[in-house]
Amino acid sequence: MLFLCVVAAIISILPLFYIFFYTTKSGISSLNWDFFTQMPKPVGESGGGMANGIVGTLILVSLGSFIGIPVGVMAGIYVTEYSGGLFSNLVKFVTDVLSGVPSIIIGIFAYGVIVIPMQGFSTLAGSFALGVLMVPTITRITEEMLKLVPQSLREASLALGVSRWKTTLQIVLRTASGGIITGILLAIARAAGETAPLLFTAFGNRFWSTDLNQPIASLPVQIFNYAISPFDDWHKQAWAGALVLITLVFIVNLIVRIVTRDKFANKV
Amino acid sequence: MAPEIKSKKKWSDIFFEKLTLIFACSIILIVAWIIIEMFQDSIDAREAFGWKFIFSNEWDPVKEKFGALPFIFGTVVSSILALLISLPISIGVAVFLNEIVNRAFRTPLSFLIEILAAIPSIIYGFWGIFVLAPFMRGTVQPLLQSTLGFLPFFKGTPYGTGLLTAAIILAIMITPIITAITRDVLKAIPTAQREAAYALGATKWEAIKMALLNARSGILGASVLGLGRAIGETMAVTMVIGNRAEISSSLFEPAYTMASVIANEFAEASGNLHVSALIEVGLILFAVTFIINSFARLLIYSFTRKTEGK
């Protein structure tokens, strides 16, 4: 039986290596300077890049962070620092439930709340969806990291006459900031790879767009459209995009691991 | 968690506390808002079809006839199949990481498994189309057909894409989450219990078996949570399941899931009724994942509280 556990461990890791290997093999040849700086070429012309998708993802994720980070961090502070009762348990529970809501549902939500009233797919709707998706991850991580700050530190600060909110912000939050920032990075990496909620909010765009009321390209949606297209050139481009995403995810996760060690492993 | 320290509260303290409270409430508000929004936006479909929506298997946007049964079928079958594949592997990995392997290997290995959870779903789908589906078509499905072909599940043409392929991708995607929670649950079992088992002459495997038995409600919670993930997974499934709204007993046949029909048709939906029907599919999906997640979380909470209280 113990032998079977070893087999299970090997089986579970195999797909990871295979995906890494295959993505690298298929994507590396198209991954060059053009990929990051050029616009997509029309069908039939080879070359070109996904510059609009990369910039689009950056814009979407940064705008999303304006929702995800404040809501996530502040709610995390409330749960650990100000309430230990039934209400904070309710907040924790709802946060967990929200983290389990399929991302495509968040897309429908953003569609109903922003796309319909504004009568069109837009950057704003896409960022809103990504922002909401980031909230539960950030809240949980903030909570876990704040819990690790020793109680004596809070007491020491309060004993020196520092007010409660300053203690929370300048002592507690600062002590935990390393972990929280890496947690935010994790949420950002996850949001950057999201496709489903962007299909009918940000929608995608073949051209440059920085207008918040217009559809905008994003790397994952571009990968999706290219992947299901029948053109070999586009497949190659999509693999290059996939390689960029997978590298991003790997690096961010590695940083998180190194900075936080085992502190909150498995808690996300 | 911070104990109440009695002091005169300044207005700034009260302000900051209320501010964090507002943000905390906003999470509850968002979830409530999602429910209300989806409920409102699916009114047209609910009025037009009523409960028939769930039990009808006709999905024809041209004739404006909408029934969600094929999607519910595809979602349920692919997710449960994924869980069946993933659960033994996940438990095995959790036991391996917790009880067998030494620290030097544990950290990199658990890191690698975490990365599996972080890979964007679109990449799984892309890999599924170009690597897994051809492999299924060329190797796995003919093999299943020649050995177990008498069963209705393995009849039909091996296309490569279809329910079985989707289930395998889902299994890969949910293994990390089930593993992680099973590990937490196993960690919560007191070492004293294991020592007692050893003292009574149990072998290593017998001690682990006892821990697993004691942890069963927590492991159930972990699997239900994994099931919830599988049900809501969109892009990877959309890319390999074949997207055909039919119900077939064969696992080789293309199928459709609730999440993938929304992904495929939402942006191009023509007519209000079509959009409304898709949102109702979303509402069903939301309700199912909501119930499943709440159930799983409560199981896991109560398990950890019980063992911590011992």
Q: Note the pLDDT tens digit of each residue in B285-303.
A: 999 999 999 999 999 888 8
Average pLDDT for B98-119: 88
Judged by CB atoms closer than 8 Å, whether chains meet at B285 and A102 is answered as: yes
Collapsed DSSP state (helix, strand, coil) of residue B72: helix
Average pLDDT for A228-248: 92
- Band of pLDDT at residue A209, cut at 50, 70 and 90: confident
Average pLDDT for A163-167: 91
Helix axes B11-41, A51-77, angle to 10 degrees: 120
- Best of B25, B71, B115, B123 to mutate (most A CBs within 10 Å, chain A): B123
pLDDT of B182 > 70? The answer is: yes
User: DSSP assignment of A128-183, as one string?
Assistant: HHHHHHHHHHHHHHHHHHHHHS-HHHHHHHHHTT--HHHIIIIIIHHHTHHHHHHH
Place of tokens 């080879």: A46
Interface membership of A94 toward B (CB under 8 Å): yes
- Band of pLDDT at residue B1, cut at 50, 70 and 90: low
The pLDDT of residue A66 is 95
143-162 of B, contacting A, C-beta below 8 A: none
Q: Of all residues in chain B, what percent carry a pLDDT higher than 70?
A: 96
pLDDT digits (tens, 9 = 90+) for B206-246: 888 888 998 899 999 999 999 999 999 999 999 999 998 98
Interface membership of B108 toward A (CB under 8 Å): no
Average pLDDT for A104-116: 95
- How close B147 comes to chain A (CA, Å)? 23
Place of tokens 């990051």: A36
A128 versus B105: the higher-pLDDT residue is: A128
The pLDDT of residue A263 is 55
Q: What is the mean pLDDT of chain A?
A: 90
Of the candidates A109, A151, A193, which has its C-beta nearest B122's C-beta? A193
Nearest CA in chain B to A1: B205
CA distances from A76 to A106, A141, A143, A226, B24 (A): 21, 8, 5, 39, 8
Interface membership of A178 toward B (CB under 8 Å): no
pLDDT of A267 > 60? The answer is: no
Radius of gyration of chain A (CA): 21
Q: Which residues contact A58 (CB under 8 A, 6 or more apart)?
A: none
114-133 of A, contacting B, C-beta below 8 A: 121, 132
pLDDT digits (tens, 9 = 90+) for A25-46: 999 988 888 889 888 888 777 7
9-28 of A, contacting B, C-beta below 8 A: 9, 11-13, 15-16, 18-19, 22-23, 26
Interface membership of B297 toward A (CB under 8 Å): yes
Interface membership of B107 toward A (CB under 8 Å): yes
This prediction has a pTM of: 0.92
Judged by CB atoms closer than 8 Å, whether chains meet at B96 and A6 is answered as: yes
Structure tokens at A58: 């950056």
Least confident window among A85-89, A219-223, B18-22, B234-238 = A85-89
* Nearest CA-CA partner of A102 in B122, B302, B293, B119: B293
Beta bridge partners of A203: A216
CA angle at A218 for the pair A215 and A222, rounded to the nearest 5°: 105
- How close A160 comes to chain B (CA, Å)? 13
Interface membership of B202 toward A (CB under 8 Å): no
Judged by CB atoms closer than 8 Å, whether chains meet at B30 and A195 is answered as: no
CA angle at B297 for the pair A257 and B178, rounded to the nearest 5°: 50
Q: Of all residues in chain A, what percent carry a pLDDT higher than 90?
A: 70
Q: CA B235, B237, B238, B239 torsion: positive or negative? A: positive
pLDDT of B9 > 90? The answer is: no
- Band of pLDDT at residue B106, cut at 50, 70 and 90: confident
Judged by CB atoms closer than 8 Å, whether chains meet at A104 and B259 is answered as: yes
Q: Mapped to the 3 state alphabet, what secondary structure does B225-258 carry?
A: HHHHHHHHCCHHHHHHCECCCCCCCCCCCCECCH
pLDDT digits (tens, 9 = 90+) for B38-83: 999 999 999 999 999 999 999 998 888 999 999 999 999 999 999 9
Size of interface A-B (CB pairs under 8 A): 282
- Best of A82, A106, A146, A259 to mutate (most B CBs within 10 Å, chain B): A82
- Residue A87 identity: F
Judged by CB atoms closer than 8 Å, whether chains meet at B123 and A78 is answered as: no
Nearest CA in chain B to A70: B23
Radius of gyration of chain B (CA): 23
pLDDT digits (tens, 9 = 90+) for B110-167: 899 989 999 999 999 999 999 999 999 999 999 998 888 888 888 888 888 999 999 9
Helix axes B216-232, B69-95, angle to 10 degrees: 140
The pLDDT of residue A265 is 46
Interface membership of A110 toward B (CB under 8 Å): no
- Band of pLDDT at residue B307, cut at 50, 70 and 90: confident
Dihedral (C-alpha) A131, A132, A134, A136: value to the nearest 10 degrees? 160
- Band of pLDDT at residue B6, cut at 50, 70 and 90: low
Q: How far apart (Å, rounded) are the C-alpha atoms in residues B223 and B83?
A: 7
Ranges of beta strands (E only) in chain A are: none
Nearest CA in chain B to A161: B7
The pLDDT of residue B7 is 55
109-138 of B, contacting A, C-beta below 8 A: 109-116, 118-127, 129-131
- How close A63 comes to chain B (CA, Å)? 18
Q: Which residues contact A107 (CB under 8 A, 6 or more apart)?
A: A129, A196, A197, A198, A199, A200, A201, B262, B266
Q: How far apart (Å, rounded) are the C-alpha atoms in residues A228 and B241?
A: 13
pLDDT digits (tens, 9 = 90+) for B79-92: 999 999 999 999 99
Judged by CB atoms closer than 8 Å, whether chains meet at B121 and A104 is answered as: no
Structure tokens at A25: 């093999």
Contact B46, B66 (CB under 8 A): no
Ranked by mean pLDDT, the top range of B149-153, B245-249, B260-264 is: B260-264
The pLDDT of residue B5 is 54
Judged by CB atoms closer than 8 Å, whether chains meet at B122 and A242 is answered as: yes
pLDDT of A170 > 60? The answer is: yes
Chain B neighbors of A74, CB-CB under 8 A: 19-20, 22-24
- Using left for φ > 0, alpha for ψ between -120 and 50, and beta otherwise, residue A80 falls in alpha
Interface membership of A91 toward B (CB under 8 Å): yes
